[in-house]
């Protein structure tokens, strides 16, 4: 009976997903980064360039000149260097606007009352930094005055919305729950509703450092994550966000339908990307990095995974099923390579742990340096992945991924549920899961160990990961802006300058022969906003098209270059 019920739910989900706007950028490569073009800076194809920070422990930040404390009930703007003190709720439909380049230094106090920014239901955060001026939330500790910065110095950022969730601790029609972590019930910390298109604002080019704290180490599920998202709707924009040294999960979604691109989970204590309670968004281009000396030692059940996904707990048939789609993720485990010695008592576990009736999909991704690879757990979860190997028939799928040969335990079995080694092997063969690729065959531009500013996770042209991605199947129907990159034999150069742009930018490309060229501009949600060339003839050599950006709002846009049917996309930042 359950099989029939879930298949019907899958068809409904398929029909709804087809109605969504294009989101995914088609690639030929697996993982989060394309082939290096040999350049650096914001005009390169390294989307971490300029705004990400790989050594926040030693980063020097200026002294705060203003303080943000108490509840915010009216529209408020902040800039400069700000001191965040205690629980700060943005409530009563107020909007908190944070200027590009703002640094928020968060107070470390007793665990029951750390600094925490909470965007309540109906309110918004407008934190729109740029590659050159990111917005930074970090610990107020430093080596000069105190003992240094550590995971869990402050609580983190919590965004709460009216999107659909599948569990209700406060009400069940619609489901409304209190956010995980807080020990007391407060209506300001409720999330969930019936509006999957809810808008909680914008977070772009934002760093969150040393957040994530357990308010009561003796109480399960009392942790706050680096970035906690409860019932966030698809009207919210999330892109270019880095969470570093979180004391719990780096990113955790509880229901809702928000999409996101370009996420970094850097050396967090618990899971990198955790999904629960019916979350159904789309995520593309993410980097997860583990540290051998940092793992979840809370209680006896601590386990640090790359991905962890539940539908709900305890196991049941709550709907909607957790059915997020992740694509193009580069996940680097704590072992990094075979030379790393793991410390005694560490709790590092799986690259991917799927359980409790989840239907999460992960595709076109790379997993390396983990002790264990894929673990799919529980009989109800088995039903979701054991359908024929198509998106239409399975609730979730794991396909076109590479689990490198350094992962000693590629698959974790749960024989009682049906997840046996022969089942995994058959599933992997049917879904193009490669377990033979080595780290050296991935051939990163600079695979520095440990991670440092010189690390570069773009792929060399010789990499085995430059091919193998696949965006076919109903889950991607109507959602992909381009299926493959322009071949180097067709185009030798594709550059945007200036980038970031204010009033105009130039789109320059050099082609090896006369060709039909289309150039289109998309916003962060994948909506077409401008057509610069529609299949027009361009001559061999260097060509330049000018884009007047004066009518476009500040934000992230994508320039799609289509040459005779093959495509490449670059990011344009407009900063006014």
Q: Where are the domains of the chain?
A: 2-476, 491-574
176 in Cβ contact with 144 (< 8 Å) = no
Lookup result for tokens 């808008």: 199
pLDDT (0 to 100) of residue 486: 44
* Cα 116-177-88 angle, rounded to 5 deg: 20
CA distance linking residue 364 with residue 33, whole number of Å: 11
CA distance linking residue 53 with residue 237, whole number of Å: 22
67 in Cβ contact with 85 (< 8 Å) = yes
Chain centre to alpha carbon of residue 129: 17
CA distance linking residue 502 with residue 548, whole number of Å: 9
Spatial neighbors of 218 by CB under 8 A, at least 6 apart, are none
Spatial neighbors of 61 by CB under 8 A, at least 6 apart, are 81, 103, 105, 136, 138, 142
Looking at domain 2-476, its CATH architecture is: 3 Solenoid (2.160)
Regarding beta strands 273-276 and 251-256, do their DSSP bridges make them parallel or antiparallel, or are they unpaired? Answer: parallel
* Beta-bridge mates of residue 509: 494, 543
pLDDT (0 to 100) of residue 101: 97
CA distance linking residue 241 with residue 207, whole number of Å: 6
pLDDT (0 to 100) of residue 73: 98
Lookup result for tokens 């150039």: 519
CA distance linking residue 382 with residue 70, whole number of Å: 47
**Three-state SS at 442:** helix
Distances (CA, A) of 151 to 86, 138, 266, 337: 17, 10, 11, 24
Q: How many CB atoms lie within 10 A of CB 398?
A: 24
Eight-state DSSP code of residue 187: G
**Three-state SS at 10:** helix
* Cα 298-300-301 angle, rounded to 5 deg: 85
Which tokens go with 555? 């934000």
Question: Among candidates 127, 228, 181, which has minimal Cα distance to 554?
Answer: 127
Regarding beta strands 504-511 and 398-399, do their DSSP bridges make them parallel or antiparallel, or are they unpaired? Answer: unpaired
Q: Which residues of the chain have pLDDT under 70?
A: 1-20, 37-44, 110-112, 143-146, 216-221, 297-302, 314-316, 338, 387-394, 449-453, 474, 482-492, 524-526, 564-567
pLDDT (0 to 100) of residue 488: 45
CA distance linking residue 174 with residue 164, whole number of Å: 8
* Beta-bridge mates of residue 545: 507
> Could you read off the pLDDT of 96-120 as tens digits, one per residue?
999 999 999 999 876 567 899 999 9
Half-sphere exposure of 268 (CA within 13 A, CB side): 36
Which tokens go with 478? 């109507």
Give all strands (DSSP E) within 245-389, no chain letters: 251-256, 260-266, 273-276, 282-289, 307-309, 325-332, 350-354, 361-363, 366-368, 372-376
Question: Among candidates 221, 290, 287, 224, which has minimal Cα distance to 260?
Answer: 287
**Three-state SS at 343:** coil
Homologous superfamily, domain 491-574:
Intracellular proteinase inhibitor BsuPI (2.60.40.2360)
CA torsion 310-316-317-319 (nearest 10°) is -50
Which tokens go with 148? 């240094």
47 in Cβ contact with 285 (< 8 Å) = yes
Which tokens go with 285? 């281009």
What region, left, alpha or beta, does residue 324 occupy, with left being phi > 0 and alpha being psi -120 to 50 degrees?
beta
Q: How many CB atoms lie within 10 A of CB 552?
A: 17
Q: For residue 382, what is the enclosing H or E element?
A: helix 379-385
pLDDT (0 to 100) of residue 12: 31
**Percentages (nearest 5) of helix, strand, coil residues in the chain:** 10, 40, 55
163 in Cβ contact with 123 (< 8 Å) = no
Burial class (CB in 10 A: 0-12, 13-18, 19+), 15: exposed
Backbone angles phi, psi at 97, to 5 degrees: -105, 125
């Amino acid at each position: 009976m359950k099989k029939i019920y879930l298949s019907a739910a899958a068809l409904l989900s398929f029909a709804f997903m087809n109605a969504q706007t294009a989101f995914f950028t088609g690639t030929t490569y697996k993982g989060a980064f394309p082939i290096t073009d040999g350049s650096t800076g914001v005009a390169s194809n390294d989307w971490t360039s300029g705004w990400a920070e790989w050594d926040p422990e030693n980063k020097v930040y200026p002294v705060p000149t203003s303080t943000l404390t108490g509840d915010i009930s009216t529209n408020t703007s902040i800039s400069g260097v700000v001191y965040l003190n205690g629980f700060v709720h943005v409530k009563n439909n107020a909007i908190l606007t944070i200027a590009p380049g703002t640094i928020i230094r968060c107070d470390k106090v007793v665990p029951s009352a750390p600094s925490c920014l909470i965007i309540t239901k109906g309110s918004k955060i407008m934190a729109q930094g740029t590659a050159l001026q990111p917005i930074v939330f970090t610990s107020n500790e430093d080596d000069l005055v105190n003992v240094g910065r550590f995971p869990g110095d402050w609580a983190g950022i919590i965004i709460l919305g009216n999107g659909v969730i599948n569990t209700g601790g406060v009400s069940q029609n619609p489901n409304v729950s209190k956010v995980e972590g807080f020990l007391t019930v407060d209506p300001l910390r409720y999330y969930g509703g019936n509006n999957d298109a809810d808008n909680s604002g914008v977070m772009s080019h934002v760093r969150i450092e040393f957040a994530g704290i357990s308010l009561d180490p003796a109480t399960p599920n009392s942790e706050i994550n680096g970035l906690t998202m409860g019932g966030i709707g698809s009207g919210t924009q999330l892109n270019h966000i880095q969470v570093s040294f979180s004391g719990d999960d780096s990113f955790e979604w509880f229901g809702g339908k928000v999409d996101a691109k370009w996420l970094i989970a850097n050396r967090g204590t618990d899971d990198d990307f955790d999904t629960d309670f019916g979350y159904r968004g789309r995520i593309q281009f993410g980097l997860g990095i583990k540290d051998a000396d940092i793992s979840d030692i809370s209680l006896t059940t601590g386990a640090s995974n790359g991905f962890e996904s539940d539908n709900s707990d305890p196991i049941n048939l709550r709907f909607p099923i957790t059915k997020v789609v992740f694509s193009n993720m580069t996940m680097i485990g704590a072992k990094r390579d075979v030379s790393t010695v793991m410390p005694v008592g560490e709790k590092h576990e799986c690259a991917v742990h799927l359980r409790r009736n989840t239907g999460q999909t992960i595709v076109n991704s790379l997993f390396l340096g983990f002790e264990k690879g894929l673990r799919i757990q529980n009989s109800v979860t088995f039903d979701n992945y054991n359908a024929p190997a198509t998106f239409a028939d399975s609730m979730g799928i794991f396909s076109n991924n590479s689990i490198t040969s350094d992962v000693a335990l590629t698959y974790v079995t749960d024989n009682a549920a049906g997840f046996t080694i022969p089942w995994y092997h058959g599933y992997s063969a049917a879904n193009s899961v490669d377990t033979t690729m080595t780290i050296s065959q991935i051939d990163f531009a600079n695979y520095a160990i440990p991670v440092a500013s010189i690390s570069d996770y773009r792929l060399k042209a010789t990499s085995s990961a430059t091919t193998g991605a696949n965006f076919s199947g109903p889950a991607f129907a109507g959602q992909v802006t381009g299926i493959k990159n322009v071949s180097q034999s067709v185009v030798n150069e594709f550059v945007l300058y200036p980038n970031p742009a204010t009033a105009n930018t130039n789109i320059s490309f050099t082609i090896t022969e006369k060709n039909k060229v289309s150039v289109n501009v998309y916003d962060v949600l994948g909506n077409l906003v401008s057509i610069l060339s529609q299949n027009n003839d361009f001559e061999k050599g260097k060509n330049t098209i000018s884009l007047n950006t004066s009518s476009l709002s500040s934000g992230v846009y994508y320039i799609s270059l289509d040459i005779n049917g093959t495509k490449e996309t670059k990011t344009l930042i407009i900063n006014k």
